[in-house]
Amino acid sequence: MLLYFRSLLFAFYLPVLTLIMGICCAPALLISRKAARKCTKLYVKLVVGGQRFLCGTKQQLKGLENIPEGGVIIAGKHQSMWETLSLINVLDEPIYILKQELLNIPVFGWWCRALGYIGIDRKGGAVALREMTRRAEDAMARGAQLVIFPEGTRIQPGETGRYQPGVAGLYKSLNVPCVPFAHNAGLYWQHPGIIHAPGTIIGEFLPPLPPGMPRKSFMIELENQIESKAKALLPRAEDHAPVTPRTI
**Does 90 reside within a domain?**
yes
Share of the chain above pLDDT 70, in %: 94
| pLDDT the model gives residue 247 | 44
In a domain, 192, yes or no: yes
pLDDT at residue number 236: 57
Task: Kindly report, residue by residue over 13-71, the tens digit of the pLDDT.
Answer: 999 999 999 889 999 988 998 999 999 999 999 999 999 999 999 999 999 999 999 89
Bridge partners, residue 200, by sequence: 58
| C-alpha dihedral sign at 107, 94, 98, 206 | negative
**Under a CB-based contact definition with an 8 Å cutoff, are residues 149 and 185 in contact?**
no
Banded pLDDT at 244 (limits 50, 70, 90): very low
Confirm whether 217 is domain-assigned: yes
Q: Is residue 137 part of a domain?
A: yes
83 burial level (CB within 10 Å; 0-12, 13-18, 19+): buried
The pTM score is 0.88
pLDDT of residue 102: 85
Whether pLDDT at 238 is above 60: no
pLDDT digits (tens, 9 = 90+) for 80-120: 999 999 899 999 899 998 888 888 888 888 899 999 999 88
Q: Render the burial of 214-232: b for 16+ CB within 10 Å, e for the rest.
A: eeeebbeebbebbbebbee
Q: Is residue 195 part of a domain?
A: yes
Q: What is the pLDDT of residues 139-148, one digit of tens each?
A: 888 889 999 9
Q: Directed axis angle between helix 166-174 and helix 125-141, to 10°?
A: 40
Per-residue pLDDT at 16? 95
Determine, yes or no, domain membership for 101. yes
C-alpha span between 121 and 6 (Å, rounded): 37
Q: How many domains, in total, are found in the chain?
A: 1
Residue 87 CA to residue 78 CA, distance in Å, equals: 12
Q: Rounded to whole angstroms, how far apart are CA atoms 66 and 205? A: 6
Instruction: Give whole-number Cα distances, 184 to 4, 168, 177, 215, in Å.
Output: 20, 24, 23, 27
Residue 68 sits in which domain range?
A: 58-247
| CA distance readout (Å), 62 to 5, 68, 158, 187 | 31, 14, 20, 18
Residues 151 and 163 sit within 8 Å (Cβ to Cβ): yes
Average pLDDT over residues 191-199: 89
Domain of 158, CATH number, reads 3.40.1130.10
The rounded distance, in Å, linking the Cα atoms of 105 and 98 is 12
The answer to whether residue 20 is domain-embedded is no
pLDDT at 27: 93
Determine, yes or no, domain membership for 34.
no
